[in-house]
């Protein structure tokens, strides 16, 4: 039985609607050990025939029998295996993979079969040594001469010990001296190894050393001659270790081995390293979107944490605090609020008495002894007021060094009833009364002192200008700093506490009319008899009065969260868009990489890479991009958040930003998922490339 038999093979290429017949009724039969030269003019169909024999092109009529088995009956898997094990390809243009070393170029065929690293390297080095390339194994293909490159290609073709070597114009790109070397090598392979070597050549001289010459013209065989005086080589040297003594063969179980993930990873790293600038730029692009995402999430959590700390900062369980929520009783936003107003919603007398009546009824219904009392000895309801005064209030003072200066007052609070000496930070402090104020610790350094004690007792000029009941109020008073307090809100800034009755007096004075309006409270404090009563009041408010809420701190917190949620939505949109951009970018870059590497894909297919293997190589690459982008994005985010924290702390005294490890995990996952998604299309395109056309690709 012939090793290779070609029976009535016809090959037609379709050109649009036309059909072009490249091979016409080819009948040939080849034996082991033959060295066949295929000759013919350019365009006569030589390459077409080689591609059919090599299993790269399955679209033909007629039959090709390998050891009696019809190629047409082969399933895809068997065909891949046929290319991998039975056929060794050598091309005119060498077709080495540029980003791999010489050694890796040769072992790649074994890598596709997942042969152990040590085994495949040993084998490749042995063949390369026999071909005189021992010194070159670490080099890249571009560092070799043409003859050397072709020998590497031959080593690659031999590594799997195939029975048939197909060489399409192997010497076409070589000078005459190198041509002779390569021809001798191919002759050795046929004579000593007993392989069937079929080579395409234009040179009669080349043909003259072969055992058989087949000439094709216009797709037909016009000559088929066996050389009578064919001289077999006399000295023998074995080029490759044969299957019998291969460890590969011994260790190989029934199940076929294929490209492993690790090998694919190694290939990807090689390739990505070869175009590192492109990949680094792409990783930066993806990182930026991850940074936006991580920072956005961190702002969200930082703010939530901050709000929670605010809500917990002042708590006396026996004081119930009530302020307006900014909603009406049905829970609808009150219109005409002018967005985020810095002036609080105030309570009218009538509203207060209505609340008190309702509360007392509720308390009674719930069997509580406690009643809210607004007048007299047992009065347990008191008022509070709070306003942001960052643009409206300031204090003027003489600094420690004698110079005059002023500080903005960020916020003004009336002293709540639960405020006692414990809140004060120096021993010489006391709760402020008439003509007195308390300030937050930040004033100490502002006034140029080191010791907080030194600030207490100093007289400063207090100026507040604000619009109240449509009249402009100008408070301008000399006041004494009676004490210093620590605040959790705006702790880096100056915050003022002032007695409610004193502020009321100032407001009345400042109006300068006969019928001045007193200060209306923005906050009601009820001193209860127990924590249970406080809870009862809070429950009443949360269940029945959507127009009311808890403390100023809560109000402030909700104002902040309103501000931040707008900000977060903006960031989320930006983050989302940039993730889509990143995805498209990866897709484009990988897609381009597929076109750049078309030839490489063709080579891989010609040495038996399955579609799956090609897909794996490209998918691994996109996975790597995802991982690298994730790591750099996460590191950069951490640095940026660190810097932002410092800036916020020095400006505001707190940083509404907190990273949580879950966010880093989410960013990592997103990066990997979008990269892998973006890689799917290019990878499947690469896998589907037609091997013949890929090899033709310039």
- Least gap, CB of 79 to ligand ADP (angstroms): 19
Alpha-helical (H) ranges within 260-337 are 261-274, 276-313
Q: Whose CA is closest to 441, among 428, 427, 431, 456?
A: 456
**Residue 16 or 253: which CB sits closer to ligand ADP?**
16
Separation CA 604–CA 598 (nearest Å): 10
Q: How far is the CB of 47 from Mg ion (least distance, A)?
A: 3
48 binding Mg ion? (CB under 5 A)? no
Residues 6+ apart with CB under 8 A from 180: none
Q: Which residue is closest to ligand ADP by CB?
A: 47
Q: Minimal distance in Å, beta carbon 66 to ligand ADP?
A: 21
Minimum CB separation of residue 159 from Mg ion in Å reads: 24
- The least distance separating ligand ADP from the CB of residue 235, rounded to whole angstroms, comes to 34
Count of residues engaged in binding Mg ion, rule: CB under 5 A: 1
Block residue for tokens 């005459």: 176
Partner whose binding site includes residue 45, from Mg ion, ligand ADP, none (CB under 5 to 8 Å by kind) = ligand ADP
User: Which residues 8-47 are close enough to bind ligand ADP by CB under 6 A?
Assistant: 13, 15, 20, 22, 40, 42-47
Which segment (47-55, 141-149, 534-542, 584-592) binds Mg ion by CB under 5 A? 47-55
The residue among 695, 600, 605, 602 whose CA lies nearest residue 81 is 605
Is the distance from CB of 626 to CB of 674 less than 8 angstroms?
A: yes
20 binds, among ligand ADP, Mg ion, none (CB under 5 to 8 A by kind): ligand ADP
Nearer to ligand ADP by Cβ, of 44 and 412: the residue is 44
Which residues from 44-103 bind ligand ADP, rule CB under 6 A? Answer: 44-48
Residue with the two structure tokens 């088995």: 69
Residues 6+ apart with CB under 8 A from 88: 156, 157, 158, 160, 162, 164, 165, 166
In the complex with ligand ADP, which residue's Cβ is closer, 40 or 344? Answer: 40
Q: What per-residue string of b and e applies to 452-491 under the rule 16 or more CB within 10 Å gives b?
A: beebbebebebbbebebeeeebebeeebbbbbbbebebbb
Shortest distance in whole angstroms from residue 567 CB to ligand ADP: 58
Partner that binds at residue 43, options Mg ion, ligand ADP, none, CB closer than 5 to 8 Å by kind: ligand ADP
CB of 96 to ligand ADP, least distance (A): 21
Query: Do 384 and 392 form a contact (C-beta atoms < 8 A)?
Result: no
Tracing tokens 């390339």 back to the chain, one arrives at 133
Among the listed residues 284, 272, 263, the one whose alpha carbon sits nearest the alpha carbon of residue 671: 284
Q: Helices (DSSP H) in 113-165: which residue ranges?
A: 117-130, 146-158
Residue 621 C-beta: closest distance to ligand ADP, Å: 29
Q: Binding partner of residue 632 among Mg ion, ligand ADP, none, CB under 5 to 8 Å per kind? A: none
Q: Which residue is nearest to Mg ion (CB)?
A: 47
Pairing status of strand 35-39 against strand 212-217: parallel
Q: Report phi then psi at 403, rounded to 5.
A: -80, 160
CA distance linking residue 575 with residue 290, whole number of Å: 7
Phi, psi dihedral angles at 140 (to 5 degrees): -95, 155
Q: By CB under 5 A, tell whether 37 contacts Mg ion.
A: no
User: Looking at beta carbons only, is 359 or 692 nearer to ligand ADP?
Assistant: 692
Q: Does 47 bind Mg ion (CB under 5 A)?
A: yes
Nearer to ligand ADP, 38 or 71 (CB): 38
State yes or no: residue 675 binds ligand ADP (CB under 6 A). Answer: no
| Per CB under 6 A, 273 contacts ligand ADP | no
Site for Mg ion, rule CB under 5 A:
47
Site for ligand ADP, rule CB under 6 A:
13, 15, 20, 22, 40, 42-48
């Amino acid at each position: 039985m012939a090793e290779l038999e070609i029976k009535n093979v016809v090959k037609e290429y379709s050109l649009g609607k036309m059909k072009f017949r490249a091979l016409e009724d080819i009948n040939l039969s080849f034996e082991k050990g033959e060295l066949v030269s295929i000759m013919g003019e350019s365009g006569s169909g030589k390459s077409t025939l080689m591609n059919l024999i090599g299993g790269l092109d399955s679209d033909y009529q007629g039959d090709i029998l390998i050891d009696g088995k019809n190629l047409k009956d082969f399933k895809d898997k068997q065909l891949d295996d046929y290319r991998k094990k039975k056929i060794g390809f050598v091309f005119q243009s060498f077709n080495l993979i540029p980003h791999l070393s010489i050694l890796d170029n040769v072992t790649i065929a074994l890598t596709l079969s997942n042969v152990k690293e040590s085994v495949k390297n040993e084998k490749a080095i042995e063949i390369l040594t026999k071909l005189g390339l021992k010194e070159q194994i670490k080099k890249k293909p571009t560092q070799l001469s043409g003859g050397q490159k072709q020998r590497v290609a031959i080593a690659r073709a031999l590594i799997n010990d195939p029975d048939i070597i197909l060489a399409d114009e192997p010497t076409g790109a070589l000078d005459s001296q190198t041509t002779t070397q390569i021809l001798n090598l191919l002759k050795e392979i046929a004579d000593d190894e007993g392989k069937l070597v079929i080579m395409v050549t234009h040179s009669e001289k080349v043909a003259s050393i072969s055992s058989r010459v087949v000439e094709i013209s216009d797709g037909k065989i016009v000559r088929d001659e066996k050389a009578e005086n064919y001289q077999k080589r006399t000295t023998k040297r074995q080029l490759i270790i044969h299957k019998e003594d291969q460890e590969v063969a011994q260790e190989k179980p029934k199940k076929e081995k294929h490209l492993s993930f690790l090998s694919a990873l190694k290939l990807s790293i090689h390739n990505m390293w070869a175009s590192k600038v492109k990949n680094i730029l792409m990783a930066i692009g993806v990182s930026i979107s991850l940074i936006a995402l991580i920072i956005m999430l961190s702002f969200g959590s930082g703010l939530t944490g901050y709000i929670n700390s605010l809500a917990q900062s002042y708590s006396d369980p026996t004081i119930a605090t009530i302020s307006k929520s900014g909603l009406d009783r049905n829970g609808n936003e009150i219109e005409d609020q002018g967005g985020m107003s810095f002036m609080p919603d105030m309570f009218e007398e009538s509203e207060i008495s209505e609340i008190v009546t309702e509360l007392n009824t509720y308390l009674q219904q719930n069997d509580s002894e406690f009643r809210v009392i607004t007048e007299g000895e047992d009065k347990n309801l008191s008022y509070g007021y709070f306003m942001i005064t960052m643009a409206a209030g300031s204090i003027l003072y003489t600094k420690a060094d004698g110079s005059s200066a002023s500080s903005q007052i960020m916020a003004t609070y009336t002293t709540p009833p639960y405020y006692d000496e414990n809140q004060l930070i120096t021993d010489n402090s006391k709760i402020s009364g008439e003509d007195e104020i308390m300030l937050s610790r930040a004033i100490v350094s502002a006034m140029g002192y080191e010791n907080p004690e030194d600030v207490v007792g100093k007289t400063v000029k207090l100026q507040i200008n604000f619009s109240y009941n449509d009249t402009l109020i100008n408070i301008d008073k000399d006041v004494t700093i009676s004490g210093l307090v620590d605040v959790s809100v705006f702790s880096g800034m100056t915050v003022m506490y002032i007695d409610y009755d004193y502020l009321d007096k100032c407001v009345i004075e400042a109006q300068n009319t006969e019928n001045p309006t007193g200060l209306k409270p923005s906050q009601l404090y009820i001193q209860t008899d127990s924590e249970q009563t406080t809870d009862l009041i809070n429950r009443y408010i949360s269940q029945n009065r959507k127009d009311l809420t808890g403390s100023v701190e809560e109000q402030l917190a909700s104002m902040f969260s309103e501000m931040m949620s707008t900000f977060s939505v903006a960031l989320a949109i930006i983050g989302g868009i940039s993730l889509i951009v990143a995805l498209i970018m990866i897709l484009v870059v990988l897609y381009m990489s597929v076109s750049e590497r078309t030839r490489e894909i063709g080579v891989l297919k010609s040495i038996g890479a399955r579609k799956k293997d090609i897909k794996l190589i490209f998918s691994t690459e996109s996975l790597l991009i995802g991982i690298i982008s994730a790591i750099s994005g996460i590191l950069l985010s951490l640095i940026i958040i660190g810097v932002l924290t410092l800036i916020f702390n020095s400006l505001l005294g707190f940083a509404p930003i907190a990273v949580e490890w879950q966010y880093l995990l989410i960013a990592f996952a997103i990066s990997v998922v979008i990269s892998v998604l973006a890689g799917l299309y290019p990878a499947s395109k690469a896998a589907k490339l037609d091997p013949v056309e890929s090899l033709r690709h310039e």
